């Protein structure tokens, strides 16, 4: 999270911000319990997204160490998808930070 976005509210106006999004429906069994708030600075939101992707990657890696086939193949595919998503998110974040 950049210090500028925390200290200077005007800096938030010059960059894109999040829209509202909901999650936590337990496969649509009930209304969403959680949400992403609208108006969050894009860089701040991306920092959170990178942290979530890193946690998912580590969780998947732990499961991969313990799994046998056929689950191991599925976890490897998930690892590849997480790796791509993480690399893309980190590249976008770095680009935002460089201005």
Name the band, by pLDDT with cuts 50, 70 and 90, for residue 10: low
Domain count, the chain: 1
pLDDT at 99: 77
With CA atoms as reference, report the closest residue to 50 among 2, 4, 92.
92
Domain that holds residue 68: 3-98
Contacts with 24 (C-beta within 8 Å, 6 or more apart), sequence order: 32, 33, 34
Q: What pLDDT shows up at residue 13?
A: 53
21 forms beta bridges with: 36
**pLDDT grade for 7, boundaries at 50, 70 and 90:** low
pLDDT digits (tens, 9 = 90+) for 11-65: 545 789 999 999 999 999 999 999 999 999 999 999 999 999 999 999 999 999 9
**pTM, to two decimals:** 0.76
Q: Which residues of 50-77 are buried (b: 16+ CB within 10 A; e: fewer)?
A: beebeebbeebeeeeeeeeeeeeeebee
């Amino acid at each position: 999270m950049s210090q500028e976005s925390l200290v200077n509210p005007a800096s938030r106006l010059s960059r894109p911000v999040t829209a509202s999004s909901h999650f936590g429906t337990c496969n649509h069994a009930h209304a969403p319990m959680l949400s992403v708030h609208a108006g969050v600075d894009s860089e701040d939101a991306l920092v959170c997204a990178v942290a979530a992707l890193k946690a998912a990657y580590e969780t998947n890696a732990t499961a991969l160490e313990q799994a046998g086939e056929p689950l191991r193949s599925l976890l490897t595919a998930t690892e590849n998808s997480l790796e791509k998503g993480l690399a893309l998110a980190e590249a976008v974040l770095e680009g935002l930070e460089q201005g």
